[in-house]
């Protein structure tokens, strides 16, 4: 991991030491890795005697609430409910640490405040195409499972932790294990030798993985499983190119009382079908249609998201959005759009 070297670690430590107001920023609609890495960093900074703010565009999903103690909760600012508080926190910070995203637009309505901010900025991320020019210091590695794993390897090199996992403390360790676990789908993808080293060291230090797994995977409402059944049985379509896609409109989300995070992981399921090369979930949101893409080896979800869905991500797991009316006039047109664009994309890829 070339960005983790003594020069950069030293710079990170001195930037933290010299900062008076620190905020941690992560991507919109935060997932387990976004919240895991952000809260882990919060706990590390507390160890150094620095109380930071975590600023996010949207509320975190309730299944991650076990990571948020009362104290920590008071230091999370959500743009959705406190817009000026959120942008003030960014503009009032002399150090902004950005986790689990590669460019400011991934923070949605925090983007402008980040561009305007005069504070120094640090990036800790594992996505392709990082906008390094926006940061004073970047830790960007794509050969890691998650931002949480990358943060773990960084923290190990700091003088306070000094390669002793136990020094992270339970809360920090638990948050890092959570972020790595959700981004790998519980070790199903993006697992590197370094990922298993991290997991092994965290386990040895006493992190309670059974508790974490129970909190992440066994606390959903009945509605979620019923929705999954409906999606796979009635809504999934498979094109002759081997693209499985599902359109989840607002009406269906309401009928199943779908909360943020309830559809987590569903987009992976169609890949279990032999002839499916790529799976797309289109979810109707207020002013856009959110897109999640997963692909098998040899097909690039990232390139497809960049070319046709205003997004990007990783080679086999990416996301984006369709804008109304720029790309489609409504959810009814999304099926046609997906069939047409993936046909072009897969034929171009095959003929490369």
Residues that bind ligand 5GP (CB under 6 A): 106, 127, 292, 311-314, 317-321
Largest CA distance in the chain: 58
**Taking CB within 5 to 8 Å according to partner kind, which of Mn ion, ligand 5GP, none is near residue 110?**
none
Q: Which residue, judged by CB position, is nearest to ligand 5GP in the bound state?
A: 319
33 binding Mn ion? (CB under 5 A): yes
183 binding Mn ion? (CB under 5 A): yes
User: Which is closer to Mn ion, CB of 106 or CB of 277?
Assistant: 106
User: Residues 249, 284: contact at Cβ < 8 Å?
Assistant: yes
Q: Which residue, judged by CB position, is nearest to Mn ion in the bound state?
A: 33
User: Residues 104, 115: contact at Cβ < 8 Å?
Assistant: yes
**Taking CB within 5 to 8 Å according to partner kind, which of ligand 5GP, Mn ion, none is near residue 39?**
none
Give the CA distances from residue 248 to residues 14, 102, 257, 264, in Å, rounded to whole numbers and listed in that order: 47, 27, 13, 13
Tell me which of 96, 99, 100, 319 binds Mn ion, using CB under 5 A.
100
Q: How far is CA 229 from the centre of its chain?
A: 25
**Taking CB within 5 to 8 Å according to partner kind, which of ligand 5GP, Mn ion, none is near residue 311?**
ligand 5GP
Going by C-alpha positions, the residue among 161, 150, 137 that lies closest to residue 8 is 137
**Taking CB within 5 to 8 Å according to partner kind, which of Mn ion, ligand 5GP, none is near residue 224?**
none
Q: How far is CA 34 from the centre of its chain?
A: 5
Tell me the C-alpha distance between 305 and 321, whole Å. Answer: 9
User: Residues 23, 96: contact at Cβ < 8 Å?
Assistant: yes
Does the bond joining 161 to the residue before it have cis omega, within 30 degrees of 0? no
**Taking CB within 5 to 8 Å according to partner kind, which of Mn ion, ligand 5GP, none is near residue 321?**
ligand 5GP
**Taking CB within 5 to 8 Å according to partner kind, which of ligand 5GP, Mn ion, none is near residue 201?**
none
> Least distance (Å) from ligand 5GP to the CB of residue 323?
11
> Least distance (Å) from Mn ion to the CB of residue 162?
26
User: Which is closer to ligand 5GP, CB of 179 or CB of 319?
Assistant: 319
* CB-count exposure of residue 274 (10 Å: 0-12, 13-18, 19+): exposed
User: Which is closer to ligand 5GP, CB of 207 or CB of 295?
Assistant: 295
Give the binding site for Mn ion (CB under 5 A): 33, 100, 146-147, 183
């Amino acid at each position: 991991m070339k960005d983790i070297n003594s020069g950069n670690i030293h710079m990170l430590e001195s930037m933290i030491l010299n900062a008076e107001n620190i905020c941690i920023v992560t991507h919109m609609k935060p997932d387990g890795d976004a919240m895991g890495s952000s809260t882990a960093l919060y706990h590390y900074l507390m160890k150094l005697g620095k109380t930071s703010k975590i600023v996010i565009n949207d509320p975190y999903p309730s299944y991650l609430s076990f990571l948020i103690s009362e104290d920590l909760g008071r230091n999370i600012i959500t743009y959705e409910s406190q817009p000026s508080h959120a942008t003030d926190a960014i503009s009032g910070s002399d150090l902004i640490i950005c986790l689990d995203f590669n460019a400011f637009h991934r923070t949605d309505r925090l983007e402008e405040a980040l561009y305007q901010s005069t504070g120094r900025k640090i990036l800790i991320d594992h996505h392709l195409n990082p906008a390094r020019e926006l940061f004073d210091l970047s830790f960007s590695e794509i050969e890691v499972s998650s931002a949480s794993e990358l943060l773990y390897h960084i923290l190990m090199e700091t003088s306070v932790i000094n390669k002793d996992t136990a020094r992270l403390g339970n809360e920090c360790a638990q948050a890092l294990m959570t972020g790595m676990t959700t981004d790998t789908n519980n070790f199903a993808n993006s697992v590197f030798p370094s990922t298993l080293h991290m997991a092994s060291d965290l386990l040895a230090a006493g992190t309670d993985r059974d508790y974490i797994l129970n909190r992440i995977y066994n606390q959903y409402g009945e509605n979620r499983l019923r929705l999954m059944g409906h999606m796979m049985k009635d809504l999934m379509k498979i094109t002759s190119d081997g693209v499985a896609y599902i359109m989840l409109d607002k009406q269906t989300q309401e009928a199943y009382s779908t909360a943020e995070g309830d559809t987590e992981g569903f987009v992976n399921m169609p890949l279990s079908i032999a002839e499916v090369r790529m799976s797309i979930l289109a979810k109707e949101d207020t002013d856009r249609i959110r897109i999640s893409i997963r692909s098998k080896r040899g097909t690039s979800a990232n390139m497809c998201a960049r070319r046709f869905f205003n997004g990007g991500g990783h080679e086999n797991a990416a996301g984006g959005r369709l804008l109304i009316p720029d790309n489609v006039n409504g959810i009814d047109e999304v099926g046609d759009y997906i069939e047409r664009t993936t046909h072009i994309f897969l034929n171009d890829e095959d003929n490369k």
